[in-house]
Amino acid sequence: MNHKRLLEPLAHRGLLYSNRIVFSPLTRARATSDGVPGQLQAEYYLQRASAGLLISEAIAIRPDGRGGAWTPGIYNEAQIDGWRQTTDAVHAAGGRIFAQLWHAGRLSHSSFHPERLPPAAPAAIAASGRVVLESGAAPYETPRRLTIDEIEQYIAHYEQAARNAMEAGFDGVEIHGAHGYLLDSFLRDAINNRDDAFGGSVENRARFLVSVIGRVTDCVGAHRVAVRLSPNTTAGDMTDSDPEATFGYVIECMNALDVAWIDVIEGNNMVTRDVPGGLDTDILTRAFSGGIILNHGFTFDMADEALAAERADMIAFGRDFIANPDLVERCRKGLPLATSDRSVWYGGGGEGLIDFPPHPASSEAAQSSVSG
* pLDDT tens string 222-245: 999 999 999 988 888 999 999 999
Query: Is 60 exceeded by the pLDDT of residue 173?
Result: yes
What's 328's DSSP letter? H
For residue range 287-335, list pLDDT tens digits in order.
Answer: 999 999 999 889 999 999 999 999 999 999 999 999 999 999 999 999 9
Rounded to the nearest 10 degrees, the angle between the axes of helix 148-167 and helix 77-92 is 40
> Which pLDDT band holds residue 114 (cuts at 50, 70, 90)?
very high
How confident is the model at residue 268, as a pLDDT? 60
| Distance set, CA 312 to CA 225, 227, 281 (Å) | 17, 15, 11
| Distance set, CA 245 to CA 95, 206, 240, 288, 350 (Å) | 37, 11, 10, 14, 44
Q: What is the mean pLDDT of residues 259-270?
A: 84
CB count in 10 Å sphere of residue 138: 13
> Which pLDDT band holds residue 4 (cuts at 50, 70, 90)?
confident
Query: Cβ(3)–Cβ(44) under 8 Å?
Result: no
How confident is the model at residue 279, as a pLDDT? 85
CA 201 – CA 70 distance, rounded (Å): 37
Average pLDDT, the chain: 94
How confident is the model at residue 170, as a pLDDT? 98
Percentage of the chain with pLDDT > 70? 94
- Nearest residue to 6 (alpha-carbon basis) of 18, 16, 14: 18
Query: Cβ(321)–Cβ(327) under 8 Å?
Result: yes
Percentage of the chain with pLDDT > 90? 89
CA 340 – CA 343 distance, rounded (Å): 9
Catalytic residue among 17, 45, 140, 181: 181
Q: What is the mean pLDDT of residues 98-116?
A: 97
Q: Which range is least confidently modeled, 109-113, 264-268, 333-337?
A: 264-268
Question: What are the backbone angles phi and psi of residue 54, rounded to the nearest 5°?
Answer: -105, 135
Query: Cβ(99)–Cβ(90) under 8 Å?
Result: no
* 17 catalytically annotated: no
CA 162 – CA 168 distance, rounded (Å): 10
H or E element that contains 59: strand 53-60
CATH superfamily of 4-318: Aldolase class I (3.20.20.70)
Query: Cβ(336)–Cβ(329) under 8 Å?
Result: no
How confident is the model at residue 275, as a pLDDT? 63
CA 146 – CA 230 distance, rounded (Å): 23
Residue 227: strand pairing partners:
175, 262
How confident is the model at residue 1, as a pLDDT? 56
